[in-house]
Structure 1
């Protein structure tokens, strides 16, 4: 399978790329000019490293060329947890890249829909399901939406797939994977997927290891049964 990964140099993206390469898949990665990537990746003949100063500035036509022949795309993008990363431009990094990739896929008009897997967050509700949250939860989320651009970015990126792309797009199928509090672990461990949160991401958060997120994204991309179970949805992932 040919897979394009955006955000490949991040903590979760690196783990996903390694799993894809170890399984023998063809992988294109888009990273910043200054990003450090594992040296061992370049030992794989099936990796294509695309460096750019700003992924959001890539024209649709150019991105369409990168995507040509790809059966799946994975978005592991996020904002650096620094003042510049949180409040600096682009404040809608993830949303812009989702829009760009969807436009490029549509321009290519592939014979079979491309699978798009977005790494999102359990703090973002799936409004298709009218997930129940407390008044206090809604109040805090409203404040976060105003004060923390990355949260609003996560919401808008998922909403673009949910509303603009929808579930009947001729060229794109999607899953927005929602991990809870991210932690580091060395190996993949048992995890569970749920259509909606089973605990409060604000007041009773669970944990999800980055390597489990990466492995779930890998399985969604490569496992037809799992994909058809969750496509068009926003499953929440927890460590078991």
Structure 2
């Protein structure tokens, strides 16, 4: 398979790319600073590194990036700095995803492309009307006011739900919602739920970035797993951190 990954230089994006390379897939990454990538990537014949700022590519360039790809995955996120949180672009994830989806649809490929978005348990799946406590609702409203990246995550998932929808001829999608992200070196057992089983605000679970990368890669490569979760927003927890 040919997979385009954006946000590949991030802490979770690198794990996703590594999982795809382990399975011998052809991976294309768009990064602004290729010098920060692992040295092993630069000599891997299955990896194409495209040095560019995603939001600065024009429509023709974007269409060329996604052409012949079987899947696109986004691990984009805002840097945890003052500029990253409050500076521009405030809708980094949403704008990048919208442009990628437009590019995919402009190519009119015969088979739908899989689009996997890394999202967050702090965002509800409104298709399921997931219940949350009044206290959590208050905190979420505060986050929307104080943290632009949270609004960006909400709008990105809503774009997939409402604009791409369930019957798009060019794109099928899954929005993966990890809970509290931690670093681990190896893939461990994890569990997937259609909705959070814990409060993302008051009783968050944990999941390793490598497990998130493994699940996203599995969605892309395992058609049965994809069929089970397409058009949904599954939540992932590492089992070893749920006791």
TM-score in same-fold range (> 0.5): yes
Tell me what 1:166 maps to: 165
Contact 2:34–2:49, Cα closer than 8 Å, also in 1:
no
Structure 1 equivalent of residue 11 of structure 2: 11
The one-character-per-residue Cα deviations of 1:44-97 (angstroms, maximum 9, x if unpaired) are 112111111x31121122111011100000100000111111001001100001
Alpha-carbon offset, residue 19 of structure 1: 1.4
Structure 1 Cα separation of the partners of residues 89 and 35 of structure 2: 17
Alpha-carbon offset, residue 136 of structure 1? 1.0
**Per-residue deviation at 1:20?**
1.1
Unpaired segments ≥5 residues, structure 1: none
Report the 3-state secondary structure (helix = DSSP H, G, I; strand = E; otherwise coil) of the residue aligned with 1:89. Answer: coil
Deviates more, 1:20-29 or 1:97-106: 20-29
Match of 2:143 in 1: 144
Shift of 1:213: 0.2
Query: CA offset at residue 33 of structure 1?
Result: 3.5
Superposition pairs of residues 135-214 of structure 1, within 5 angstroms? 135-214=134-213
Please tell me whether residue 124 in structure 1 is matched to residue 108 in structure 2: no
Question: Where has structure 1 moved over 3 Å in runs of 4 or more?
Answer: none
Map residues 34-49 of structure 1 onto 2, 5 A cutoff: 36-49=36-49
TM-score (norm 2): 0.97
Q: How far did residue 138 of structure 1 move?
A: 0.8
1:227 matched residue in structure 2:
226
5+ residue gaps, structure 2, are none
CA drift of 1:34 comes to 6.0
Scaled by the length of structure 1, what TM-score is found?
A: 0.98
CA-to-aligned-CA distance 1:79-137 (integer Å, 9 cap, x gap) = 01111110010011000011011000000111100000000000100000000001111
Preserved contact between residue 33 and residue 51 of structure 1 (Cα < 8 Å): yes
Aligned length: 239
Secondary structure, aligned partner of 1:131: coil
Query: Does residue 86 in structure 1 map to residue 85 in structure 2?
Result: yes
Change (3 A) 1:80 1:175: same
